[in-house]
């Protein structure tokens, strides 16, 4: 996904996270803090690519990370997210980043990873394992029109989403799927046979 796509997707994600009130800090936080935090970190995972927007500006950081981990490696994993959260919760510099902005930063970073999952290449969420998780909605080709259209559609959805409402009211699971799930769960946890 392009930098433009990541920025639009992060904007939509932070708006949706605030409207869905994913955390008390997001629910009660300042819109400007949350959106700024989300946009600030939306391009950060691509620091592992020297030709990315951030990689070109911060080559002294990007080149070593690219050599050690490669593109879409550690920086696109759950381990990087957990590490970032731990860094901020250590409060090395207390009071510099407001809590609502910090939650926006987490949403922005996560939005980058989710957006990259929409491409055929996917992301290695469980890095250092090389399994790539993907929902390949966007084509691998360089055409950016579909990407732009998708990101703008998600942004429009986020802006129109009612305040305090969940993403969807209730997911209905067919009875046959529930029976199958109970059989599988029984097999896994109780040692029963299917």
Contact assessment for residue 72 and residue 121, using Cβ atoms and an 8 Å cutoff:
yes
For residues 2 and 43, what is the distance between their CA atoms, to the nearest angstrom?
Answer: 10
Question: What are the tokens at 138?
Answer: 């966007």
Supply φ then ψ for residue 133, to 5 degrees: -100, 130
Determine the Cα–Cα distance for residues 117 and 169; give it in Å rounded to an integer. Answer: 25
The number of residues in the chain equals 194
Kindly report, residue by residue over 71-126, the tens digit of the pLDDT: 888 889 989 888 877 776 665 556 678 888 988 999 999 999 999 999 888 899 88
Taking only the tens place, the pLDDT of each residue in 147-193 is 888 999 999 999 998 887 777 666 566 777 777 766 666 655 444 44
Q: Average pLDDT, stretch 113-140? A: 88
Q: Which of 51-60, 129-138, 171-180 has the lowest mean pLDDT?
A: 171-180
* pTM for this entry: 0.79
Residue 97 near residue 88 (C-beta atoms within 8 A)? yes
Kindly report the three-state secondary structure assignment for every residue of the chain. CCHHHHHHHHHHHHHHHHHCCCCHHHHHCCHHHHHHHHHHHCCHHHHHCCCCHHHHHCHHHHHHHHHHHCCCCHHHCHHHHHHHHHHHHCCCCCCCCCHHHHHHHHHHHHHHHHHHHCCCCCECCCCCCCCCECCCCCCCCCCCHHHHHHHHHHHHHHHHCCCCCCCCCCCCCCHHHHHHHHHHHHHHHHCCCC
């Amino acid at each position: 996904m392009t930098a433009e796509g990541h920025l639009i997707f992060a904007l939509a994600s932070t708006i949706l996270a605030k409207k869905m009130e994913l955390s008390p800090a997001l629910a009660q936080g300042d819109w400007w803090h949350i959106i700024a935090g989300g946009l600030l970190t939306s391009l950060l995972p691509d620091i592992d690519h020297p030709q990315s927007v951030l990689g070109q500006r911060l080559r002294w950081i990007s080149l070593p990370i690219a050599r050690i981990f490669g593109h879409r490696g550690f920086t696109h994993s759950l381990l990087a997210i957990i590490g970032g959260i731990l860094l901020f919760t250590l409060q090395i510099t207390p009071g510099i980043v407001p809590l609502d902005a910090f939650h926006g930063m987490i949403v922005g970073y996560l939005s980058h990873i989710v957006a990259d999952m929409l491409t055929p290449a996917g992301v290695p969420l469980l890095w250092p394992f090389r399994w790539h998780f993907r929902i390949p909605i966007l084509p691998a080709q360089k055409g950016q029109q579909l990407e732009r259209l998708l990101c703008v559609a998600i942004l429009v959805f986020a802006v129109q989403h009612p305040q305090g409402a969940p993403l969807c009211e209730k997911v209905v699971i067919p009875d046959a799927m529930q029976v199958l799930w109970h059989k599988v769960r029984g097999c896994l946890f109780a040692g029963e046979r299917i």
